[in-house]
């Protein structure tokens, strides 16, 4: 059997971390099984969908390294959905309802007040042809509901194991609104049948929907795909994701300097039995992927952990791969510079700070002017190399008697304006004699 999955974003905004995790689960399984992925743009909401967002979604997926083999727009397939709806109507499985939202809301409240489940009572099925004609003459337009069987729908979920939905506990779902617009469910099932989707992998908030969709698959004569529903994301403390983090877009992550593989590694491993560590490629993530590794507890998205994973990737990034990106940041000071600073950054744009510290001008921090002046007096002349820092600090130690932190900290503060950072033996040759002398003497340089 040819494995085929789908990722189906709506182009009403850019994709965020929750969308990316859903996409990633589909891609990893497809890659592991030698299957394919369909990128389906769910743009049936013509009022809110835009080409700009559609292109943004494609750009975000491409930046992440997620490549699709097939592509479709639901807005190009309305005639196909109309045919499916006509079939269901002819079989009595899609029926017109004329209640307003206010009327439905009152019925739900009455049902709850009397201890009954707030399930649609199928009153529309009792309408005669004359009743429907009268309502339409009054200006009412029907919405269309799918008639559920009232039986149980069972499947073995790839993540959750055996699942069972009693459709008597559900309202007959609305598939077509009164304005004629298709809601998500019918186009999705029709597409899954037409594009031969074999597996549907998504968040566990869709578990109940699966019972409904299975019945529509069966009503349209399609093969029912396998389902996998994974737990949703929560914040680092186990609570709901903050609005800021929950809507964190791929474009924002890229702009902040995150590496695609850091984002993918973090999202692939949280909520699983694997350690949350950087991986070298999406192929490695796919090789390690297994539904059995996904826990039942919500996955914790921790921005600090994501930054740690990102830092580990940068720490292992060689200059050849960093060079062009550093140049775009105007922070390419050569291989020696990159090797000096990479262990001290978590995001690539932080390289600009260290480039500025090397080139200046910076305000030196000189708490002991006499000590700094003495150090300036023994500053080596000429070009510096890897041995120059050791020669310099030995000379300062001999002249001032300072040693340990009392020796190294004030020199670092004067030369960089900071009390932390890369090894000074690597930074010192980059700063050079002229700037070093001025900074030790308390001058901006």
Q: Each residue of 354-403: pLDDT tens digit? A: 999 999 999 999 999 999 999 999 999 999 999 999 999 999 999 999 99
Given a contact cutoff of 8 angstroms between Cβ atoms, the answer to whether 279 and 285 are in contact is yes
Given a contact cutoff of 8 angstroms between Cβ atoms, the answer to whether 200 and 228 are in contact is yes
307 has a pLDDT exceeding 90: yes
212 has a pLDDT exceeding 90: yes
Given a contact cutoff of 8 angstroms between Cβ atoms, the answer to whether 5 and 199 are in contact is yes
16 has a pLDDT exceeding 70: yes
Q: State the pLDDT at residue 112.
A: 85
For 112-156, the pLDDT digits (tens) are: 888 888 899 999 999 999 999 999 999 999 999 999 999 999 999
37 has a pLDDT exceeding 90: yes
- Closest among 416, 412, 419 to 361, alpha carbons compared: 416
Q: State the pLDDT at residue 246.
A: 61
Q: State the pLDDT at residue 296.
A: 94
Q: How confident is the model at residue 181 (pLDDT cuts 50, 70, 90)?
A: very high
Cα–Cα distance between 222 and 363 in angstroms, integer? 71
240 has a pLDDT exceeding 80: no
Q: State the pLDDT at residue 28.
A: 98
Percent of the chain topping pLDDT 90: 90
Asked which of 31-40, 99-108, 380-389, 434-443 is least confident by mean pLDDT, the reply is: 99-108
For 51-100, the pLDDT digits (tens) are: 999 999 999 999 999 999 999 999 999 999 999 999 999 999 999 999 99
- Mean of all residue pLDDT scores within the chain: 95
111 has a pLDDT exceeding 90: no
Residue recorded with tokens 């790839």:
158
Q: How confident is the model at residue 110 (pLDDT cuts 50, 70, 90)?
A: confident
Q: What is the DSSP letter of 242?
A: P
Given a contact cutoff of 8 angstroms between Cβ atoms, the answer to whether 83 and 193 are in contact is no
Buried b (16+ CB within 10 A) or exposed e, 254-279: beebbbbbbbbbbbbbbbbebebebb
Backbone dihedral region for residue 147 (phi beyond 0: left; psi -120 to 50: alpha; all else: beta): beta
285 has a pLDDT exceeding 90: yes
Cα–Cα distance between 25 and 229 in angstroms, integer? 10
For 411-432, the pLDDT digits (tens) are: 999 999 999 999 999 999 999 9
Q: Which domains can be identified in the chain, with CATH numbers? A: 4-70+186-233 (3.40.50.620), 80-176 (3.90.800.10), 243-315 (1.10.1160.10), 319-359 (no CATH), 369-440 (1.10.10.350)
| Mean pLDDT along residues 305-316 | 97
The model's pTM: 0.91
Cα–Cα distance between 232 and 240 in angstroms, integer? 10
Cis peptide before 361 (omega within 30 of 0): yes
Q: How confident is the model at residue 108 (pLDDT cuts 50, 70, 90)?
A: confident
1 has a pLDDT exceeding 80: no
Q: How confident is the model at residue 244 (pLDDT cuts 50, 70, 90)?
A: low
For 332-341, the pLDDT digits (tens) are: 999 999 999 9
| Mean pLDDT along residues 285-308 | 96
| Mean pLDDT along residues 151-175 | 96
Q: State the pLDDT at residue 238.
A: 81
Cα–Cα distance between 315 and 80 in angstroms, integer? 52
Cα–Cα distance between 334 and 358 in angstroms, integer? 12
Q: State the pLDDT at residue 116.
A: 83
């Amino acid at each position: 059997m040819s494995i085929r999955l789908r990722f189906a974003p709506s182009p009403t905004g850019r994709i965020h971390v929750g969308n990316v995790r859903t996409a990633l689960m589909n891609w990893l399984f497809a890659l592991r099984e030698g299957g394919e992925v369909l990128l389906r743009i769910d743009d049936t909401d013509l009022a809110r969908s835009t080409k700009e967002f559609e292109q943004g979604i494609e750009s975000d997926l491409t930046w992440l390294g997620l490549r699709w083999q097939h592509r479709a727009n639901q807005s190009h397939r309305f005639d196909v959905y109309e045919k499916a709806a006509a079939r269901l109507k002819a079989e009595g499985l899609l029926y017109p309802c004329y209640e307003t939202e206010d009327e439905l809301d009152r019925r739900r409240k009455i049902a709850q007040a009397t201890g009954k489940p707030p399930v649609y009572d199928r009153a529309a099925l009792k309408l005669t042809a004359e009743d429907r004609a009268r309502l339409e003459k009054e200006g009412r337009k029907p919405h269309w509901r799918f008639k559920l069987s009232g039986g149980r729908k069972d499947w073995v979920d790839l993540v959750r194991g055996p699942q069972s939905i009693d459709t008597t506990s559900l309202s007959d779902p609305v598939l077509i609104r009164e304005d004629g617009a298709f809601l998500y469910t019918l186009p999705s099932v029709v597409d899954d049948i037409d594009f031969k989707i074999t597996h549907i992998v998504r968040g566990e908030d869709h578990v109940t929907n699966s019972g409904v969709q299975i019945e529509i698959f069966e009503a349209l004569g399609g093969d029912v795909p396998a389902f996998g529903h994974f737990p949703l994301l929560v914040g680092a403390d186990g609570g709901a994701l903050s609005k800021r983090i929950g809507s964190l877009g791929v474009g924002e992550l890229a702009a902040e300097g995150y590496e695609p593989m850091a984002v993918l590694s973090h999202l692939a491993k949280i909520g699983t039995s694997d350690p949350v560590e950087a991986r070298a490629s999406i192929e490695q993530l796919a090789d390690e992927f297994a539904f059995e590794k996904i826990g039942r507890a919500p996955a914790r998205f921790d921005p600090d952990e994501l930054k740690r994973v990102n830092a580990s990737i940068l720490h292992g990034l060689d200059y050849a791969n960093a060079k062009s990106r550093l140049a775009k940041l105007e922070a390419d000071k050569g291989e020696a510079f990159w090797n000096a600073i990479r262990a001290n950054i978590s995001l690539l744009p932080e390289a600009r700070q260290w480039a500025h510290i090397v080139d200046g001008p910076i305000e030196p921090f000189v708490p002991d002017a006499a000590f700094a002046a003495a150090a300036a007096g023994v500053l080596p002349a000429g070009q510096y190399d890897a041995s120059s820092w050791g020669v310099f600090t030995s000379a300062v130690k001999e002249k001032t008697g300072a040693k340990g932190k009392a020796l190294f900290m004030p020199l670092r503060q004067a030369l960089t304006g900071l009390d932390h950072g890369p090894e000074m033996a690597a930074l010192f040759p980059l700063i050079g004699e002229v700037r070093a002398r001025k900074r030790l003497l308390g001058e901006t340089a």
